[in-house]
Amino acid sequence: MMNARTFSRHSPKAQTQSGFTLPELLVTVAITGVLLGIAVPSFSEFIKGMAVRSASFDLYSALTLARSEAIKRNREVVLTPATDGWKNGWTVTVTVSGTTTVLSKQAALSGLTVAGPSAEFTYRSDGRVDGSTPQFEITGSNAIRCVTVDLSGLPSTRTGTCS
């Protein structure tokens, strides 16, 4: 009777074992740990920057909505900060015949700072802002974005401070 070695093309000495040795595995784990140690702080800053960018575009969208609804409805539309300021969100409302309708509501922006007007502001029926033009500065860690409204009522957003 023949055994399995008889059919092998290689001699027993030429056969090798597959897999990793313990030192190879330890070196791989150490290199992975170093790379993660370098990448995680950068990734954290990237996430904060994206949160600031997302918040600025949420505000930009609310301003655009308020302006377009004011023109469409031929009514004043009000953008109001939540209790304790803009970082806790805002609401876009319109009042028709004594009934106030919420058009949009933004939840709180966790971990971000939003500096803006101290009170609500109104878009008139022609799409322009009542009073002075508002500016919002959204900050999170090292990322800063500015959202402004020009004299015609159009919002814009850019990287950096509002000053």
Exposure string for 90-121, b = 16+ CB within 10 A, e = fewer: bbbbbeeeeeeeebbebeebeebebbbbeeeb
Q: Whole-prediction pTM value?
A: 0.74
What mean pLDDT is reported for the chain?
Answer: 86
The residue-averaged pLDDT of 21-33 equals 89
Residues 90-112: what's their mean pLDDT? 90
Q: Please tell me the CATH code under which domain 22-159 is placed.
A: 3.55.40.10
DSSP letters, 31-73, are HHHHHHHHHHHHHHHHHHHHHHHHHHHHHHHHHHHHHHHHHHH
Q: Where are the domains of the chain?
A: 22-159
DSSP-based three-state secondary structure for 6: helix
Please, which residues bridge with residue 95 across strands?
A: 100
Residue 140 CA: distances (Å) to CA of 18, 46, 107, 108: 50, 11, 17, 14
What pLDDT is stored for residue 130 in this prediction?
A: 78
More confident: 109 or 72: 72
More confident position, 118 or 125? 125
Share of residues in the chain with pLDDT > 90 (%)? 47
pLDDT digits (tens, 9 = 90+) for 62-98: 999 999 999 999 999 999 999 888 999 999 999 988 8
User: Is residue 52 within 8 Å of residue 112, measured between CB atoms?
Assistant: yes
Grade residue 4 by pLDDT with cuts at 50, 70 and 90. low
Q: What is the pLDDT of residues 130-161, one digit of tens each?
A: 778 889 999 988 889 999 999 889 999 999 99
